[in-house]
Amino acid sequence: MRSIQRRLSLGLISVMVIVGVVLAQISLWLFEVGLQRYLEAGLRNDSESLLVALVRGPQGLQLDERHLSPAYQRPFSGHYFRIDFADSHWRSRSLWDQDLPLLNHPGLHSNLQLGPDGQQLLVLRSDYRRLGQSISISVAQDYTPVRESFQRMRQIGLGLGLAGLLLILLLQRITVRRALKPLESAREQIAQLQQGQRSQLDDQVPVELEPLVAQINHLLAHTEDSLKRSRNALGNLGHALKTPLAVLLSLASSEKLDAHPELRKILKEQLEQVQQRLNRELNRARLSGDALPGALFDCDAELPGLLATLNMIHGEHLALSYVAPPGLQLPWDREDLLELLGNLLDNACKWADAEVRLSVIERTDGFALCVEDDGPGIPEQQRTQVFSRGTRLDEQTHGHGLGLGIVRDIVEAWGGLLVLGESKWGGLKVVIELPRR
């Protein structure tokens, strides 16, 4: 999609070119019509002067050349005349060997050419009656200099118009950038929203942006409220189910089911799985806490609290530590990363004897997250099995499968890679490679 700046520029250019051409043509036409009317007055005076120069002679009408302008004597001087009466006509010496044609009707004409240089003539024919005879006098003036002046005016006007258009475009660009500056400010505020540095956009914006900002703020408030309600509902549901689950587990262990060992086994297995899932979701809600929608993951701010929460859940005997570059922010949603790291670390804490470490490594092409523990680990031939949801390699301990399956789904959605290996302490090592956004 083209930018607003380009659209405004193209629209302004189109409007100004069309309006400018129309106004320029109308102005030149009006100026030329006015000039022709002015020249027509001069030609009419010349025509009347020629009429006065006609006198009665011994042989009839004569032209008294003493009353003629010297311009009519020089060849192709640019001033010409022709006098028609009866069956004869006179013409000025300035016509030389050319002839001024007789026009069909009186009035001003501007489409005649004459002379070796192709002079454009402005000709006025006037009809009179003098000394009892009908006389037609045509006077002409070279219109070529005027035409050339108009051509120069067009060229100068075109140059000035282009220069003016460039100046207007420059001023328009500056004006549009200043007018769109509030949008740049809104973009920066949205980036701050994404980084968790603010919860809403400033409402001190131009009138045109007020509905947009108000709608975004309303959406943010609604989203945050929905997240809080969902988190609270999850916690309430979990706590509401813990008591019925404990009762059901107690009934499954009662002596009333001694006669049905298979039924007791099935009930206990299913109830234990429900209890595991319930505990995991409650732990997830505790780990996420309150977060702004779309907040990025700040390692320095989030990891100490995450490890402290896990220590409270799994006991103080575990040594949980992390290594990350100072001030590192991971370009993914805070809650998604809390869920991913919470699952990995929670899984490691269940199996570790005393040591769990998280390493966050920044690379040129992305990031690597590594979680290691000193537990029993997973044999290489069985590592692919733990990605199946609910698969457990040890029936006595909550298994790797559910948590690692969820982690794998998140990593695949981000276009990353999940690899299981052996830690330096002999336990499980989970490495997640994520591409840079």
CA dist 391 and 165 (Å) reads: 73
Counted residue by residue, the chain has a size of: 437
Question: Is residue 351 scored above 80 in pLDDT?
Answer: yes
User: Would you place residue 394 in the very low, low, confident or very high pLDDT band (cuts 50, 70, 90)?
Assistant: very low
Beta strands in 341-385 (DSSP E): 355-362, 366-373
User: Using an 8 Å Cβ cutoff, are 415 and 408 in contact?
Assistant: no
Least trusted range by pLDDT, from 86-90, 173-177, 231-235: 231-235
User: Would you place residue 242 in the very low, low, confident or very high pLDDT band (cuts 50, 70, 90)?
Assistant: confident
Question: Is residue 371 scored above 70 in pLDDT?
Answer: yes
Question: Is residue 368 scored above 90 in pLDDT?
Answer: yes
CA dist 126 and 113 (Å) reads: 19
CA dist 3 and 10 (Å) reads: 11
Give the mean model confidence (pLDDT) for residues 180-206. 77
Phi-psi region of 376 (alpha: psi -120 to 50; beta: other; left: phi over 0): alpha
Stronger pLDDT, 16 or 384, i.e. the higher one: 16
What pLDDT was estimated at residue 117?
64
User: Using an 8 Å Cβ cutoff, are 400 and 429 in contact?
Assistant: no
* Distance set, CA 312 to CA 142, 281, 283, 346 (Å): 107, 16, 11, 11
What pLDDT was estimated at residue 282?
65
Most confident of 80-89, 223-232, 393-402: 80-89
Report the DSSP pairing between strands 119-130 and 107-114. Answer: antiparallel
User: Would you place residue 72 in the very low, low, confident or very high pLDDT band (cuts 50, 70, 90)?
Assistant: confident
What pLDDT was estimated at residue 359?
93
User: Using an 8 Å Cβ cutoff, are 252 and 271 in contact?
Assistant: yes
Give the mean model confidence (pLDDT) for residues 198-204. 78
Read off the pTM. Answer: 0.44
User: Using an 8 Å Cβ cutoff, are 120 and 76 in contact?
Assistant: no
What pLDDT was estimated at residue 314?
82
Least trusted range by pLDDT, from 114-118, 155-159, 344-348: 114-118
What pLDDT was estimated at residue 281?
67
Residues 6+ apart with CB under 8 A from 197: none
Burial of 56 (C-beta count, 10 Å sphere; 0-12/13-18/19+): exposed
DSSP 8-state class, residue 257: G
Question: Is residue 213 scored above 90 in pLDDT?
Answer: no
What pLDDT was estimated at residue 222?
82
- Count of CB atoms situated within 10 Å of the CB of 395: 8
Amino acid identity at 384: T
Give 34-38's long-range contacts (Cβ < 8 A, gap of 24+).
Answer: 35/146, 36/108, 36/110, 36/122
pLDDT digits (tens, 9 = 90+) for 306-350: 888 888 888 778 889 999 999 888 888 777 788 888 888 888 888
User: Using an 8 Å Cβ cutoff, are 320 and 356 in contact?
Assistant: yes
User: Using an 8 Å Cβ cutoff, are 56 and 135 in contact?
Assistant: no
pLDDT digits (tens, 9 = 90+) for 274-309: 777 777 666 655 545 454 555 678 888 889 988 888
User: Would you place residue 356 in the very low, low, confident or very high pLDDT band (cuts 50, 70, 90)?
Assistant: very high
Q: Which residues of 351-363 are buried (b: 16+ CB within 10 A; e: fewer)?
A: bbeebbbbebeee
pLDDT digits (tens, 9 = 90+) for 252-271: 777 777 777 788 788 878 88
CA dist 198 and 201 (Å) reads: 8
Stronger pLDDT, 355 or 179, i.e. the higher one: 355
* Distance set, CA 226 to CA 195, 204, 219 (Å): 20, 26, 10
Range list of H helices, 375-418: 401-413
What pLDDT was estimated at residue 144?
82
Residues 6+ apart with CB under 8 A from 131: 54, 56, 61
Strand partners, 126: 137
Least trusted range by pLDDT, from 83-87, 210-214, 292-296, 307-311: 292-296
Least trusted range by pLDDT, from 106-120, 190-204, 274-288: 274-288
Residue found by looking up tokens 């994404």 in the block: 194
Residues 6+ apart with CB under 8 A from 113: 119, 120, 121
